[in-house]
Amino acid sequence: MSEFAMPDDKVMSCGDVSCEFLVSPIPRPKPPAFKVNMTPSKREVVFVDNNKPNAMAILRGAQAILRSRGVAVREEIKTKLNAGVPLDDAELRDLVSRDGFIFCGVSDCGSCSASSALDSILLQQRGAAGFAVLTHPFASQVERIGVHYETDRPIPLIVLEHPMQNVSEAELQARSLALADGVQAIVEQSTGPAA
């Protein structure tokens, strides 16, 4: 009978996903490095609604605010059917072809935040200017998923107050304003102020 012995050095919680590489026996292919796109050809904002409660209301509110400030925003807001599943290849191709600033969200839970974070990475990997919109408790999702991808810089994201659900109309409007401010900051950082 063999006796179980504890190793001399234990792997403690590492606060990031690097421990996965120590304990997972499944090799992960390393995706090719890519440059983060901050300057799409079109100076137009494209919103992707993840179908979460109040997400569309926040996106529509931000859309109106941005338009009042002279920022071009596409009328159509694409809606994902499942917030917790990343965009499929056809959806990614469609969004890449729109060639604007693509904002995915608004995500306020673990699976939908991870999905929006991955959506932004997959869009960036395909050369599009894709960004996640998450709430505070899930702001680290892009960084956590991003450790598996080599980029020339961190992918920016927009972080809103949590929660999105069960909030007053005034709180929804405040989140729309915060989203509009974040979107405008990314657009202007890349292309300068609206004309």
Question: Model-level pTM?
Answer: 0.85
Model pLDDT, residue 30: 82
Write the CATH number for 163.
3.40.50.2300
In a domain, 71, yes or no: yes
Model pLDDT, residue 104: 97
In a domain, 135, yes or no: yes
In a domain, 75, yes or no: yes
Mind listing the pLDDT tens digit for each residue in 37-85?
Answer: 999 999 999 999 999 999 999 999 999 999 999 999 999 999 998 999 9
Give the count of domains, the chain. 1
Q: How confident is the model at residue 11 (pLDDT cuts 50, 70, 90)?
A: very low
In a domain, 87, yes or no: yes
Of 190 and 176, more confident = 176
Distance, in Å, from the CA atom of 158 to the CA atom of 178, rounded to the nearest integer, reads: 9
In a domain, 61, yes or no: yes
CA 73-96-140 angle, 5° bins: 80
Mind listing the pLDDT tens digit for each residue in 97-107?
Answer: 999 999 999 99
Whole domain around residue 186: which residue ranges?
Answer: 39-191
Residue type, 84: G
Instruction: Phi first, then psi: give them for residue 37, nearest 5 degrees.
Output: -90, 115
Q: How confident is the model at residue 18 (pLDDT cuts 50, 70, 90)?
A: very low
In a domain, 12, yes or no: no
Residue 47 parent element (H or E): strand 45-49
Q: Determine the longest span between alpha carbons in the chain, in angstroms.
A: 79
In a domain, 100, yes or no: yes
In a domain, 151, yes or no: yes
How confident is the model over 175-182, as a mean pLDDT? 98
Model pLDDT, residue 159: 97
Question: Using N-to-C axis directions, what is the helix angle for 169-191 and 55-68, rounded to 10°?
Answer: 50
How confident is the model over 185-192, as a mean pLDDT? 89
